[in-house]
Amino acid sequence: MQISGTRALVTGAAGGLGDAISRELAARGSTITASGRNQAGLERLANQLAGDVELCDLTDHEQVDALAGRVGEWDILVANAGTGGDVPIEQMDDAHIDDFISINLRAPIVLATRFIQQRRAAGKGGHVVLIGSLSGVVATPESRMYNATKFGLRGFGLSLRQDLTGEPIGVSVVAPGFVRDAGMFANNDVELPPGVRTSSPAEVGRAVARAIEKDLAEVFVAPREVRVLASFGGLAPGISERIQQRLGVAERKRGK
């Protein structure tokens, strides 16, 4: 799908990754609608990109459903908004669980589903990009809800793509690894094991654009060694667990 001349809705656009994705798509000729709940940040970005703003709190199901009611107005949907930062098990409650599921799983599923329904009904094509994570491929300690929702989002996206075989609507999952300067990893100040490299927000933006233009099923945004480790961890979770224990991953996440 050609990006130039399209209209794109980007959720979580005021954040670091959403900002980079919006700028990349705008640079390729798309008119951006920046969505989220940080009105000042969204308006600043929209003014810079000559775009629009859609306020939406993804924990509020009524707001999500209202946006979903007209999501087919856009040619491209980038479901980027997400939350991270699992709390210790002793502090987990229903509200914590519900927020993770609402933001990371329910909202992108609702928006993607309604987008496809509306574009189909109008006889139009389009593209959905779900911003996942390598945490949707391999599990790590201290990330149970983030892993759970990103695993679920990846499964939904890859299955949905197969349901649309032969149709002019594409679905891609873009899965960043450790991204410096923005996103869940940077915001939670996790110490990486020695030798593990990171990616930039701009690389995520370029990956999103490439996924749309080439209609790719899944794109990992990470250095080669991180992609290899993630793929191996998905295939051999028991061995991955033992490696992570030796590297002290849990302790690094706790800042100890």
Number of residues in the chain:
256
- For the chain, the maximum distance between any two Cα atoms, rounded to a whole number of angstroms, is 55
Report residue 18: phi and psi, to 5°.
Answer: -60, -40
Look at the block and give the residue holding tokens 């979580």.
Answer: 12
CA atoms 55, 69, 49, 130: torsion sign: positive
Residue 116 falls in the annotated catalytic set? no
DSSP one-letter string for the chain: ---TT-EEEEETTTSHHHHHHHHHHHHTTPEEEEEES-HHHHHHHHHHHT-EEEE--TT-HHHHHHHHTTGGGSSEEEE------PPPGGG--HHHHHHHHIIIIIHHHHHHHHHHHHHHHTT--EEEEEE--GGGTS--TT-HHHHHHHHHHHHHHHHHHHHTTTSSEEEEEEEE-SBSSSHHHHHTTPPPPTT---B-HHHHHHHHHHHHHHT-SEEEES-HHHHHHHHHHHH-HHHHHHHHHHHTHHHHHTT-
The CA-based dihedral angle spanning residues 235, 241, 243, 248, taken in that order and rounded to the nearest 10 degrees: 150
Q: Which of 74, 100, 115, 146 is catalytic?
A: 146
Would you please indicate which residues are annotated as catalytic (active-site) residues?
146
